Amino acid sequence: MSEIEDDGLGRGAPDEPQADIYDEEGSIRHDFLTMVGAAIADRDVIFLRQNVAKLHESELGHLIEAIQPEQRLAMIRLLGDDFDMTALTEVDEAIRMQIVDQMPNAQIAAAIGDLDSDDAVYILEDLDDEDREEILAQLPFTERVRLRRALDYPESSAGRRMQTEFVAVPPFWTVGQTIDYMRDEEDLPESFTQIFVIDPTFKLLGVVNLDRILRTKRQVKIETIMHETNHPIPAEMDQEEAAQLFEQYDLLSAAVVDENERLVGVLTIDDVVDVIQEEAEEDLLRLGGVGDEELSDSIGETSRSRVPWLAVNLITAFLAASVISLFEATIEQIVALAVLMPIVAGMGGNAGSQTMTVTVRALATRNLDIHNAFRVVRREAGVGLLNGVIFGISIGAVAGLWFQDVNLGGIIATAMLINMMAAAIAGILIPLTLDRFGADPAVASAVFVTTVTDITGFFAFLGLATWWFM
């Protein structure tokens, strides 16, 4: 796409092709942001329709996040019916709620009527019950029923993610009837790759891929070319489990069924990609103890999300400090211990974090279970032993030369070996134990693993020093 040419006002001429809004680093170009800001200030609707309204929904979402907060709603109002509401599914939740809260419910209802059901649910699910019901009441009956049914499913379930628009035909139809139906029917999804076969009660019987339809003669009945779908997804299934099915069987789409195996929707690969990204980001944030934090959150909201686990860390830090206090007399006589003991605890903490990260991810992807747990524990213990020997010898030699004391070098080497072993074992057993009792290992593991490595490291190093020197 060509660049926007300057029209003398710092903005592109309205008849020029749409510009590439990204720079070489993947950020929105500063000059484009400047032109958009100027267009909003000057209420230049022509420029916005020509250069903003035609952006892809993801590009428009990035633009909304990049411009100033006070410009967002102004731009949406200027675009009016040309604003693609789907772009709000591409922005942080906090930004989306700020925008939606300031939009009239009638405008939201009008915009949602043009969205796919999965995108509409994504926007509606975060609204207050009163606003949601007012918006739904303004939609056509059939669409209102579809959206309410999806909203009734648990949050983060396949039912919430599914698209309720799909193509379904009876088994006795011919290929010709099916093709004519797809040509003539207006209320069909914009894009699809499969046609589902159902009985009169909407019970799922099978599926036919579009390529098979195109390669089959018109007089052939659907029931002769359909195949059973081996991977229907229950609407109540967690979205992460559904995503794992897509990954395992290389699916492009999958039928979503209710408890009676009736077809209620379809889950598509574009939604599953979003789920995989969200779940990976969620696990990463939880490992850091920051919960569902967004970049657009305020200082107060960000602080509130981080304080609880920082408080837990403070308590565990006092536990580690209490271990150090047991060896005050030893530390007073051998000052070198105070210099060296953070090394033992720090190395143990890093080693434990490595094992914990691998374990939590393996649990999340279902690659670690009761069948291979013992083998993985044994492997991690072996890794801890080997790394303990390598770094124990290294730090022992450095400490011995630094303080001219072979005994001190031997003590820290032994303590390093003990703590690296403890870190490896704790890094895998703590997440496994938490998962076994239904707790989220991504949230709680880091605090407990750090506590184990700190206490073990201090106790091993200072205890050995007291036993040897005192």
Residues 172 and 155 placed together within one structural domain of the fold: no
Mean pLDDT to the nearest integer, 334-350: 88
Residues 132 and 212 placed together within one structural domain of the fold: no
Mean pLDDT to the nearest integer, 241-247: 89
- State how far the Cα of 78 lies from the Cα of 37, in Å rounded to an integer: 12
- State how far the Cα of 21 lies from the Cα of 63, in Å rounded to an integer: 9
> What DSSP assignment string belongs to 187-250?
SS-S--SEEEEE-TT-BEEEEEEHHHHHTS-TTSBHHHH-B--S--EETTSBHHHHHHHHHHHT
Six-digit token pair at 167? 């193509």
What b/e readout covers 239-250, taking b as 16+ CB neighbours within 10 angstroms? bbebbbbbeeee
pLDDT tens, residue by residue, 431-465 = 899 888 887 787 778 888 888 999 999 999 999 98
Q: What is the CATH number of the domain that holds 73?
A: 1.25.60
In a domain, 353, yes or no: yes
**Do the beta carbons of residue 1 and residue 18 sit within 8 Å?**
yes
Please, what is the angle between helix 269-287 and helix 239-249, to 10°?
120
What b/e readout covers 91-109, taking b as 16+ CB neighbours within 10 angstroms? bbeebbbebbeeeebebbb
**Residue 284, pLDDT score:** 67
Residues 217 and 257 placed together within one structural domain of the fold: yes
Mean pLDDT of the chain: 86
**Do the beta carbons of residue 408 and residue 399 sit within 8 Å?**
yes
Work out whether the CA dihedral 243, 249, 250, 256 comes out positive or negative: negative
Banded model confidence at residue 294, pLDDT cuts 50, 70, 90: low
In a domain, 38, yes or no: yes
Domain boundary among the residues 239, 262, 287 is at 287
For residue 139, the enclosing domain spans 30-161
**Residue 388, pLDDT score:** 92
**Residue 293, pLDDT score:** 62
Residues 188 and 140 placed together within one structural domain of the fold: no
Domain boundary among the residues 265, 287, 309 is at 287
Q: Considering only the C-alpha atoms of the chain, give the largest distance between any 2 of them, rounded to a whole number of Å.
A: 96
Residues 58 and 149 placed together within one structural domain of the fold: yes
Taking CA 422 as the corner, what is the angle to CA 418 and CA 425, rounded to the nearest 5 degrees? 140
Q: What is the CATH number of the domain that holds 465?
A: 1.10.357.20
Look at residue 174 and tell me whether its pLDDT is greater than 90.
yes
Residues 156 and 94 placed together within one structural domain of the fold: yes
- State how far the Cα of 209 lies from the Cα of 231, in Å rounded to an integer: 14
Banded model confidence at residue 292, pLDDT cuts 50, 70, 90: low
Residues 319 and 182 placed together within one structural domain of the fold: no
Residues 463 and 328 placed together within one structural domain of the fold: yes
Q: What domain count does the chain have?
A: 3
pLDDT tens, residue by residue, 32-70 = 999 999 999 999 999 999 999 999 999 999 999 999 988
In a domain, 319, yes or no: yes
pLDDT tens, residue by residue, 130-155 = 999 999 999 988 889 989 999 999 98
In a domain, 458, yes or no: yes
Residues 263 and 405 placed together within one structural domain of the fold: no
In a domain, 129, yes or no: yes
Banded model confidence at residue 9, pLDDT cuts 50, 70, 90: very low
Q: Name the amino acid, one letter, at 308.
A: P
- State how far the Cα of 245 lies from the Cα of 235, in Å rounded to an integer: 14
